[in-house]
A and B are shown apart, each in its own frame.
Chain A
Amino acid sequence: MSSNEYSLEVEGLSKSYRMYQSPFRRITEVLSGGRIKGHQEFTALSDVNFKMKPGTSLGLCGANGAGKSTLLKVLAGTTAPSAGRYRMKGRVASLLELGAGFHLDFTGRANIFMNGIMMGYSRREMEGKMDEIIEFAELGSYIDEPVRTYSSGMGLRLGFSVAVAVDPDILIIDEVFAVGDMYFQKKCVDRIYDFKRRGKTILFCSHSLYDIRQMCDDAIWLKNGNVAAIGNSVFATNEYTSFQRDHIGTGSGTLSDEYPDIPGSETRGKQLPRIVDARMYLIGTDVEAYEIRPGDSIELRVWWENPDPKGTPINIGTGLLRQDMTTCAGMGTHLDGVKLEGPKGCTVLQMPDMRLLAGQFLVPVLMMDGEGVHKYQEYLMPENLVVRNETKELGLFRMNHTWEHRHDLPVPAPKAVI
């Protein structure tokens, strides 16, 4: 087949930045015709190769500064590659930052207009899309207020609504749909799914490995600008997490992804509680089980460490999430009043007679604080939980139910109308 079957081809793509310590050095370099080198090269991305077919999606994961955003920026066309090449087929829309180009003095409506026009839409197209965008943003009467009166969440809603109104063949997203409240996030995820279903190519980066596993067929793990792993999304994210697991506690400093909310100075230098490992077993056995049937009994074992059990009370939470982010079950030690004491341990969650019906479920394991509010860590299980069904039952789970045939119950008399 010809190369035309691909919607995106990237060959040997590299990006390096020139850093000048002072304008004087730049002038010297220019005036000497490049003979006096005044800059230092900083390589943000080196030798990235991949190809994507229409209807597929690719996720990028990796630590901060690994080159994820750089790669997206290059592909979005805002900056040129330093080496290598890429080409695309079809219309490209990129969403590198929500609300880039919003003007605070203008109303939401006016900003939708301007933003769309900057993305290459004509006045008429934007007029046609306006109602759809406003409906999606659900900002009510705020849409006609200046954007400076918006809360940050409302600004994000507006930005995302404009961006997804674009109907591109290739969509490039830089970690932006973790926006707004849960309700809006769900809407965004649905919209992205919709893109995928319609055969569009999606490329996005995220610190949420769940998102990557769920939404992407393939994934790339970037490490210091290099491709450390490329393959299907479960493989690449597993490589990334196992690397993190190996390096946790060694102070390599690249673990901020797994500790997204470390509040500055208070916890710096202090060892945080963490999940060492978590696996799913058939109940009471040492048989690991990730493919099960409804009615199976399983247990989740979580090995954890808490260096400061006195000062840092911890809780462990977990849940079963369907692919569209519906939380089918959520369990937490704080909800059930279980105390986790001591510097380390293995906590087992037994789930006898598992009632979920067919589907693929994510099992996030969370290390949380004493109140079960703040997440210290989101641990990613090596595999998703797959439930296979052998009956024709419908729905999300098997309701506890029985059927019965009765003759002693006549049709009740109609109620008197008041």
Chain B
Amino acid sequence: MSKTSPPPADSPPEGSPSAWVTSQPPRAIEILRRLIGFPVMVVRHRDLITSSVKRELAVRFQGTLLGFLWPLVHPLFIFAVYYFIFTKLLSFKMPNLQPGQESAMGVYMFIGVVVWASFGESLGRGCNIIVENGNLIKKLAFPSETLPLNIVLVNVVTMIFGVAMFLLATFATPVWKAPGIELLWIPVLLTLQTLFTYGLVLILSTMQVFLRDTAQVVAIGVTVWMFLTPLFWVPEAIPQIAQYQGFIEANPMNHIVYAWREVLMGVESVLGEVLNYTNDLAIPDHNGKLLVEITRLVSEGSTVEQARAAVGADLVPLSMSHSLIDSIRIFACWAVGMFVTGFSLFSLAQRRFADEV
């Protein structure tokens, strides 16, 4: 028997038949095995994944005038619109900024928009991905869990364009000071965000197969979620924020957006520059006063931790008041949890996709 190619790793060795394929859904142990073997699956199908991502990017941008600039145009416009509304129309000004730092609010918003554009697009497109590829799923035996992954990765790539553009701007222009060593966190943030988004897309795309209303709900949900996440507003600057704090803390996207901001803008900057304007907002709230005090101490040269210690333990912890490490840690828990849930659900439902799409 001539063989021009080695069998893939999952096919049994020559001479022994594969395990029986039965009507039973996969058992917990099999799902666990697949979860643990996920990196192996990704490596084995790396060619499929990379060429699908490339193809998807090419389909989107090949033959367009702006080409790969398009993924930037969308967040830029959203950013421009919201920047105009929030800072000009709603007089959301930052009067106490140092000269040359007027862009603080803009940078703050831009990072939020870039992160959200990637996440929201993944959910919107990813939700339909199994149904859209129904014909493939019915006719080709291939690992369908790569389909949602492709969509997520495509949007991660476009996000990387956005981040790169931001970094280029900070290094080349005086718009914002260039970030430093914190940049090393970027791969971690990208990985966690990918994992979280992938898990969620797995859940949504599975639900969409069985209930086509899902996509509609997701479209609304993504918009609502976007406004509930501090992209265009600064939670610390809102007087009554303390009563909603638990709600803000429970939003995983808050943590990842916060982490991105700390990495790209710098911890000091978030406190010192962006929140400077809280002085003028005349917060009647106890918390607000303490924040102003912290900000003053920081601007006089203490570190954030020192300032917090000096002000005392009365400070109600706000989302902004935990550190970068804390946000990453919290989001990592979310990411792993979401991935495990999504992947298990998908593995259970996968065998029925061909019958439903």
Contact = CB atoms under 8 A, between A and B. Distances in A.
Contact of B19 (A14, A87, A100, A122): A87
Contacts, number: 122
Nearest to B133: A101
B4 interface: yes
B281 interface: no
Given A100-B136, A100-B139, A79 B23 contact: no
B314 interface: no
Contact of A118 (B7, B22, B142): B142
Contact of A125 (B2, B5, B212, B355): B5
B142 to A, nearest CB: 5
A121 B351 CA distance: 22
B88 interface: no
Interface string A65-83: 0000000010011111111
A87 B140 contact: no
Contacts of B47: 117, 121-123
A118 B147 CA distance: 11
Contacts of A103: 55, 59
Contacts of B1: 169, 198-200
B51 A167 contact: no
B48 A118 contact: yes
A4 B17 contact: yes
Contacts of A88: 17-18
A20 B183 CA distance: 52
B286 interface: no
B354 A73 contact: yes
Interface string A150-188: 000000000000000001010000000000000000000
Interface stretch (B8-16, B227-235, B265-273): B8-16
Interface residues of B, number: 44
A285 interface: no
A97 B351 contact: no
Contacts of B22: 81, 84-85
B300 interface: no
B329 interface: no
Interface in B299-357: 351-352, 354-355
A90 B55 contact: no
A101 B52 CA distance: 11
Interface string A123-161: 101000100000000000000000000000000000000
B64 interface: no
Contacts of B15: 4, 89
Contacts of A376: none
Contacts of B48: 117-118
Contacts of B55: 103, 106, 114
25 contacts: A6-B17, A7-B17, A14-B23, A23-B212, A73-B354, A79-B138, A79-B351, A85-B22, A85-B23, A86-B20, A87-B17, A89-B15, A90-B7, A91-B7, A96-B138, A101-B140, A103-B55, A113-B51, A119-B142, A123-B47, A123-B51, A167-B2, A167-B3, A167-B5, A200-B1
Interface of B: 1-5, 7-8, 11-12, 14-23, 45, 47-48, 51-52, 55, 58-59, 62, 135-142, 210-213, 351-352, 354-355
